[in-house]
Structure 1
């Protein structure tokens, strides 16, 4: 099987936790290194680098074309489109390229949104909303990481075929750790959508009894980081900046719990990493965490700063609860191992190509 993958705005090899790089990069790099060796995968992304072999069967091709149409034309100029069994685009910007490729080929087009603008609870980019709805109408199959998102997608795009396949976690890298401290851990970009200010407010309510470690860099301008540091001046907080994904395990080991205060979280890869590390997760109910974490691996609360602070305080003062939630999460997360998820993806690719 030959698979054409478009990850226009970010390479699978991009450093995690800075700019627009995040969970999607973790997904694409882990998925396409674990598909069967019988697959040939060409991954097209924006950039000026020479092509890179992700492994023996997956190659990253960099295309120096910012215009999506020119990007698509470059793919067709150097690669025979008809050689592919499926096209899989990731994120809405790649979906624009998918719209063009769909017009010139009959190859089944699969799309994963990763985040969907219409479902966000903060101010929306209406142009993006319109483009995403066109993608929903035009692609052959949408892959969704959660049943919750699948329901929302079928509600807004009833004509679309939506298949739910969760993202995964590397359970050989992230493993159960001894509960070593009372530190709180936030892993993610410093971005308004991620709700770090809400977490800082909650920590402030705890009267300085805890330390918050923040791992990740700003999404856009450095001013975002300066603003957050100023906002958190009365809180015991450390900023590690972007950290190599291989080095994250040490941060999970030093944490008592992991907190995801996002306004919008389609899935929550960080939650899986925390669960695999036997760390309880705290987050909000109205997100994708309701499926991955639920009430078995952490505490999900209504979107309320005081409720968040109460959940943090409860786990700080209850090591037994931390231990029990962490162990339950570690057992539950095994079904999300990337090797298993990759087999589900491969079977899905084969069925879509056949049908």
Structure 2
């Protein structure tokens, strides 16, 4: 089985937390280094190098950011190597999938990672139209949550969708440490991640705390400057980008992890918090509903005072924090990568066979 994976938007080799890299980067590198043991995997992405390996999987860099020319180069590889299936990730890669599947008549799977119409009024209309075409013409969509899959099916009743959640490396994240009153935020410092909501909520927190912020700065420097300015009167540390393999130190040193994103299709940070036995505070209109639920954290409406109350409650109630952490670790173990890889193999084999 020879699989072509297209990730135009984000390289699986890019340091997590910088540029456009984040949960999708972690997902790609972890999934395909494992899937590469069972099938031949080539991952196409933008870059100046020739090839690199992620385990047995091969990353092929195409030194051209022009989407049309990138597509032509990928097509040339397809003509030579005769892939059995193409799997595109993110909407820009989906544009490439639309063309390749039509020209080569090859089975095509797509994973959105972020669905634009679910963002509501902040959604990009042009991107929504492209994603609608992807939904219409792809052979299969893989969604990380039932909530996302159901939303797509309400929009397109005939869409073929299967839910396969993202995985977590349970060896990298261990249950350890109480964290005292250390709060943790992990994510790009970008508006969609909602760090402004958290910073604005701090003025209502009554308990003593330290907030550690891990993540690189997005293109919106003005947003970062505003966050930095508004956080000066609190005990806040801007740690910057941390290699993914070292994140567990910060989870272990925290008493809770806060995910205030305006949109999360899945919420990998929430899952990593759970496997580290740390309670999660997040919003109740995101993908955290399915991973965290009400027994591994506190999910709230988007309101600064409500967020502050949740933080204070967990600071004050150590036993409740511990109970949520134990529940989270137990729930997170079902997301171990061996389970996720098996499901991907099954769907790949099924689509190729049919």
- Structure 2 length as normaliser, TM-score? 0.97
Match of 2:336 in 1: 337
Provide the residue aligned with 1:40 in structure 2.
40
Residue 102 of structure 1 is matched in structure 2 by: 101
1:33-72 deviation digits (Å, cap 9, x = unpaired): 111623000000011112101122x100000122222112
2 CA distance for matches of 1:226 and 1:208?
A: 26
Is residue 75 of structure 1 aligned with residue 74 of structure 2? yes
Q: Is the 8 A contact 1:187 1:215 kept in 2?
A: yes
| Distance in 1 of aligned mates of 2:61 and 2:221 | 27
1: distance between equivalents of 2:292 and 2:193?
A: 17
The answer to whether the 8 A contact 2:46-2:65 is kept is yes
Helix, strand or coil at the partner of 1:143:
strand
How far, CA to CA, are the matches of 1:201 and 1:208 in structure 2?
A: 15
Query: After the TM superposition, which residues 174-213 of structure 1 pair with which residues of structure 2 at under 5 Å, given as runs?
Result: 174-207=173-206, 209-213=208-212
Q: In structure 2, what is the equivalent of residue 2 of structure 1?
A: 2
Question: What aligned pairs does 1:114-263 form with structure 2 within 5 A after superposition?
Answer: 114-121=113-120, 123-207=122-206, 209-263=208-262
Question: In the TM superposition, what whole-angstrom CA distance separates every residue of 1:68-123 from its partner, at most 9, and x where no partner exists?
Answer: 22112101223436721210000001111111102201111000000011101452
Contact 2:181/2:208 (CA < 8 Å) preserved in 1? no
Q: Is this contact kept in 1: 2:277–2:325, CA < 8 A?
A: yes
Unaligned runs of 5+ in 2: none
Query: Matched residue of 1:251: which SS?
Result: helix
Shift of 1:276: 0.6
SS of the residue corresponding to residue 255 of structure 1 reads: coil
C-alpha distance in structure 1 between counterparts of 2:80 and 2:343, whole Å: 25
Aligned counterpart, 2:53: 53
**Corresponding pairs, count:** 354
Contact 1:49 1:62 in 2 (8 A): yes
For 2:318 and 2:49, how far apart are their aligned partners in 1? Answer: 49
CA RMSD of aligned residues (A): 1.3
Deviation at 1:221, TM superposition (A): 4.1
Give how far 1:157 is off.
1.9
TM-score for the superposition, normalised by structure 1: 0.97
Which contiguous aligned blocks of 4+ residues in structure 1 show a shift greater than 6 angstroms? none
